[in-house]
Amino acid sequence: MSRAAVTVAYGDGIGPEIMGATLEMLAAAGADLDLETIEIGRSVYLRGNSSGIEPGAWESLRRTKVFLKAPITTPQGGGYKSLNVTVRKALGLYANIRPCVSYVPFVESKQPGLDVVIVRENEEDLYGGIEHRQSVDSFQCLKIMTRPGTERIIRYAFEYARSYKRKKVTCFTKDNIMKLTDGMFHKVFEEIGAEYPEIEQEHWIVDIGAAKLADTPQAFDVVVVPNLYGDILSDVVAQIAGSVGLAGSSNIGARYAMFEAIHGSAPRRAGQNVANPSGLLLAAVQMLLHLGQREVAERVHNAWLRTIEEGIHTYDIFREGNSRRKVGTKEFGQAVIANLGKIPGTLQPARYGLDRPNPRSDFPYHRPDEVKALVGVDIFVEFTRSVEELASALRVTAERGALALESIANRGMSVWPFGLGETLLAGPFQCRFFARNRSAGLPHRAIVDLLGSVEAAGIEFTKTELLYTFNGAEGFSRSQGA
């Protein structure tokens, strides 16, 4: 075991107290860490740095590649950017891992036996934050999912399951509606799943899957999800475990990793020695595993489980009858230290398999060899008169070009040539043009010419999306009712 360099940030609010207690528990357990402290959060924001982190701090992160982070307070208003999102994106932390466990009967939970790990994709999906206001009355947010981004999160979920001897990986998507984006996620899950035949695997549509997860979490083990579903589901699962204050998380990339509690800086509890350091400690346990200090991870985790079992609880999980002694942050840390070397009597002890390798996180990507062909264009236009007027104006406009008007939709619903008068018309119309002769191949110039004619006809276009096929399969959705 070699001394591991770790960048530490004490954060804001309860951050310094829970970090202090956590580092004491780690040191007493024998963690071999070389700590570098950086400043992040409120004080940095208020010095006028809108990212909440100083340039010098990045140098420490680049050097250590491992970040143990306490929660920070994001000041309200003022254009401050989320530090978490900045760090995640800058360091390429594509996987967010959140183990959720219930500790019944020692900590109240409606779900005894809950033991689920949520593996959430951390960079793509609607979190690209690519939004546009297209017209007075319409707004859009682009959901972008890539094949390399999806492959690596799915592969990481299977590697995680293999490394931690988990039996099943479940994937949630909404691919009955989003057939291209979520459809690709589901397809990649099946493709990569085939390489892990020893692991049980299943897919659920996210709505009913989430209901089942809240109702019968015992039916799940590792759950891999796109970003937004994962954001929501991981809080739901942590909450029904009965212990949002107890959960830690890791953010893993190919070269960097960040570990933190899932809760915030709880400013109202700051400076009173009452906060529960468990979320940060369990995040630190994941960090020790990442660093290969598995024996220390196991020792401190078992001492923590034993302390929870003994009913030595901070105020947030203290319940008369259930708990034995209400303690502060420091005293809780000392109780864990006193229990080092012991294992829990009722709860499942932590067993990390001391010679087991960590899950891999750096995977090569091989771009599929597909033939891409341009076949048409969707032109989005603002138009306040009738759909029939728009259709006839566009047909005249396109008359002599290489593209012909095929359909018009509004908010994804077909309104021409098929449509019902009841459909709400709001925001731009999506006017779909296909090449008159698909087999001849469509040059980009034809699209530019068509846009020129639309502009010359006085019709205002707001955006375009090119329509491609890949090995002959359509790379675009069809509107409802078309």
- Where on the chain is the footprint of ligand NAD (CB under 6 A)? 14, 18, 71-74, 84, 245, 260, 263-269, 275-276, 279, 316
Return the number of the residue (14 or 171) whose C-beta is nearest ligand NAD: 14
| Residue number, 74 or 410, with CB nearest to ligand NAD | 74
Taking the C-alpha atoms of residue 436 and residue 124, their distance in angstroms, rounded to an integer, is: 36
Instruction: Tell me how far apart the alpha carbons of residues 13 and 268 are, in angstroms, rounded to a whole number.
Output: 8
Shortest Cβ 245–ligand NAD spacing (Å): 4
Q: Closest separation between CB of residue 286 and ligand NAD, Å?
A: 15
How far is Cα 329 from Cα 277, in angstroms, rounded to an integer? 6
Q: List own/partner pairs for 200-205 with CB under 8 A and 24 or more apart.
A: 200/167, 200/168, 200/169, 201/168, 201/169, 201/170, 201/171, 202/168, 202/170, 202/171, 203/170, 203/171, 203/172, 203/173, 204/170, 204/171, 204/172, 205/172, 205/173, 205/174, 205/175, 205/176
What the block records as the tokens of 226 is 């796109």
Shortest distance, position 18 Cβ to ligand NAD, whole Å: 6
Nearer to ligand NAD, 226 or 279 (CB): 279
Q: How far is the CB of 322 from ligand NAD (least distance, A)?
A: 17
Residue with smaller CB distance to ligand NAD, 77 or 197: 77
Pairing outcome for strands 4-9 and 33-38 = parallel
Q: Which is nearer to ligand NAD, 124 or 260 (CB)?
A: 260
β-sheet bridge partners, residue 251: 96, 258
- Least distance in angstroms from the C-beta of 275 to ligand NAD: 4
Q: Taking CB positions, which residue lies at the least distance from ligand NAD?
A: 264
Rounded least distance, CB 220 to ligand NAD, Å: 24
CB of 174 or CB of 313, closer to ligand NAD: 313
Q: Which is nearer to ligand NAD, 108 or 382 (CB)?
A: 108
3-state SS class at 221:
coil
Q: What's the 3-state SS for 232-301?
A: HHHHHHHHHCCCHHHCEEEEECCCCEEEEECCCCCHHHCCCCCCCCHHHHHHHHHHHHHCCCHHHHHHHH
β-pair partners for 121: 95
| Distance in Å, CB of 72 to ligand NAD, minimum | 4
